[in-house]
Amino acid sequence: MHSILLTGGAGFIGSHLTRLFVNKYPNYKIVNLDKLTYAGNLENLTDIEHLPNYTFVKGDITDLELLRKLFKEHQFTAVLHCAAESHVDRSITDPLAFVTTNVLGTSSLLLAAKEYWAGKYEGKIFYHISTDEVYGSLGEEGFFTEDTAYDPRSPYSASKASSDHMVRAFYHTYQMPVKLSNCSNNYGPYHFPEKLIPLCIHNIINNKPLPIYGKGENVRDWLFVEDHARAIDVIFHKGKIGETYNIGGHNEWTNIALVKELCRQMDEKLGREEGTSEKLITYVKDRAGHDLRYAIDATKLKDELGWMPSLQFEEGISKTIDWYLQNKKWLDDVTSGNYQKYYEAQYEKR
Ligand code: NAD
Ligand code: TDX
């Protein structure tokens, strides 16, 4: 039995995590605290919002008074901390927004939990969801393990690294019962179309250019989002207090190979002649400080807790494209309004 404060549940990964926990654990009470920034969307949760063990609260994780009030009201026994500013390109334009939410917000949550739990840590969990980007950039060889030294290189990854350090500082200094995981790139339904895969799906549907930064040779390790949520479930329930677990897909793709695979599958699904969508590929100016390669060694998670990815990439990406094709209204809704301004500022001037 848990009463859980889940932050950022209206975002991409948070909505999958909320859905998994609310459905799988009817005895748990899940309170989703989300500020509903451009990335938060309650449409992501319409299938579970009526369930009796789910409550939504609109609010900011930097609001310590609100956090104190919520801890008292709901007597939380656990925190699943997913809320963040998450897009590298936006962090290059507006780094302070990332420091505020990712560093100050995480520290405020830690403080509120520490005050409310007041040293009575039996059965309590503060789970911090983080990224592989904190480890920096790999060359052509090697993998990130849990012991790889931190070397963040973008304002986004530096803010996530800072938040990881604060979580570990609360463990060592105050014995806060923390767990952390660092995951590779996720993909799947409800992914906001500022990120590579949903952006390209959106642009292929609309016959718009597919912007590839630099030469498209950067490598990412892609994991289906539901597999990430399953890994968090396993670590939440079976992982050791004070430990970090890397989560990855064993699934490395250069950006250009990935986009060509998207084009191939979408031509087939849209009944377009083979090669039609590839013509939309457009090389644009590289991202500043663009990390070359991320790749996760998830051996610890497999050996200690038995988790492995369940989906092969070709199957996962096919499911993802189908979801976007069947949910054009979701895509149209999130790409109207402010999205247009973002898109123009990010791409038109390149
Ligand atoms: P997202 O941008 O889709 O969602 C973030 C959510 O947090 C949104 O619902 C937003 O409204 C909310 N939020 C933002 N600022 C807030 C604030 N101050 N207070 C309350 N809520 C706020 O992000 P995502 O891609 O789902 O990532 C979720 C977490 O997983 C992040 O911590 C991210 O660093 C981590 N992560 C993401 C990936 C990935 O590939 N997307 C990979 C590894 C780790
Ligand atoms: O238009 C684009 N063109 C392009 O070539 C975009 C948006 C991206 N790219 C490249 C940059 C990266 O090499 O594609 C790759 C993937 O880019 P993103 O989807 O922006 O993801 P990335 O920068 O790798 O970071 C993601 O993974 C780790 C998430 O956004 C983070 O939240 C997560 O922590």
pLDDT per residue as tens digits for the range 251-292: 999 999 999 999 999 999 999 999 999 999 999 999 999 999
| Structure confidence at residue 350 as a pLDDT band (50, 70, 90) | low
CB neighbourhood size of 332 (10 A): 11
Query: Which percentage of the chain shows pLDDT scores above 90?
Result: 97
- Does residue 34's CB lie within 6 angstroms of at least one atom of ligand 1? yes
Q: Is the pLDDT of residue 342 over 80?
A: yes
| CB contact set of 276 (below 8 Å; sequence gap of 6+) | 263, 267
Q: What is the pLDDT of residue 295?
A: 95
Contact 284, 350 (CB under 8 A): yes
The answer to whether the CB of 58 falls within 8 A of the CB of 32 is: no
> What is the dotted CATH code of the domain comprising 3-185+224-247?
3.40.50.720
Determine the Cα–Cα distance for residues 67 and 113; give it in Å rounded to an integer. 9
Q: What are phi and psi of 303, to 5 degrees?
A: -70, -40
Residues with CB under 6 A from ligand 2: 86-88, 131, 133, 185, 195-196, 199, 211-213, 218, 220, 255, 287
Q: Are 310 and 230 in contact (CB under 8 A)?
A: yes
Cβ within 8 Å of residue 196, ≥6 positions away: 220, 255, 258, 259
- From the number of C-beta atoms within 10 Å of its C-beta (0-12, 13-18, 19+), residue 279 rates as exposed
Active site residues: 132-133, 156
pLDDT digits (tens, 9 = 90+) for 185-235: 999 999 999 999 999 999 999 999 999 999 999 999 999 999 999 999 999
Q: Among the atoms of ligand 2, which is closest to the Cα of residue 210?
A: 1
pLDDT class for 348, splitting at 50, 70, 90?
A: confident
C-alpha neighbours within 13 Å on the C-beta side of residue 169: 11
Domain boundaries, the chain: 3-185+224-247
Q: Which residues pair with 219 in a beta bridge?
A: 254, 293
pLDDT over 60 at 118, yes or no:
yes
Closest CA to 186 of 105, 277, 110, 86: 86
Tell me the CA distances in angstroms from 51 to 23, 54, 241, one per residue in order: 9, 6, 30
**Distance from the alpha carbon of residue 81 to the mean position of ligand 1, in angstroms:** 9
